[in-house]
Amino acid sequence: MDIDDLIDAVLGREGGFSDNPADRGGATRWGITERVARANGYAGDMRALPRETAAAIYRRLYWQRPGYDRVAAAMPLIAAELFDTGINMGPKVATGFLQRALNALNRGGADHADVAVDGLIGPHTLAALDGFRARRGAAGERVLLKALEALQGARYMTLAERRPANEAFLYGWLANRLG
């Protein structure tokens, strides 16, 4: 999948307008919150947020800015997962999951050096990803994907446990965001 396919999948999944009182994100259209839309220059009614505007926001904020396009060159499945997780949890959280997983899977530094868990894709994270890929190959990408999904699932459970209103979303998060 390329970024256009990933964006189309997100837009299809997120769909229409929502303003669930239990959702701290408030009014959303295409999965874009009003706060994010306003911060990116949209001043209209959220019910009318154009699909093209949402797609441009996804591309810029959740693909290019965090550097997932650079990850895609080495591991496209990982980049797709980071993109999706970043939309739902924020790119810093998604990237932090990657950094944590790379650190835990480096066999005590034998495959690549640990990286700072700073939530930013930079040269050290990309080097660690390259080291992991060189050691583990295509099978490693699937294992790394499982590690990212495990971290994401654990965070969803914690969010639901800490805020009972989030229990309304837990099933959908697990059904639509993992695997």
Q: Using one digit for the tens of pLDDT, what is the confidence trace for 14-30? A: 878 988 776 777 889 99
pLDDT tens, 108-157?
Answer: 999 999 999 999 999 999 999 999 999 999 899 999 999 999 999 999 88
Query: What percent of the chain lies above the pLDDT cut of 70?
Result: 99
User: Tell me, what amino acid is at 57?
Assistant: I
**3-class DSSP state of 178:** coil
Pick the more confident residue, 113 or 170: 113
CB 82 within 8 A of CB 71: yes
Cα 100 to Cα 123: distance, rounded to the nearest angstrom? 16
Residues forming beta bridges with residue 28, ordered by sequence position: 18, 33
CB 134 within 8 A of CB 127: no
Which two tokens mark 54?
Answer: 């949402």
Residue 67 has pLDDT above 70, yes or no: yes
Q: What is the mean pLDDT of residues 39-48?
A: 96
Q: Provide the whole-model pTM.
A: 0.89
Which CA distances in Å does 60 have to 55, 91, 135?
9, 12, 32
Cα 35 to Cα 58: distance, rounded to the nearest angstrom? 14
Q: Which of 137, 112, 135, 136 is nearest to 124 (CA)?
A: 112
Q: What is the mean pLDDT of residues 68-92?
A: 95
User: Strands 28-29 and 32-33, how do they pair?
Assistant: antiparallel
> How far is Cα of residue 92 from the mean position of the Cα atoms in its chain?
9
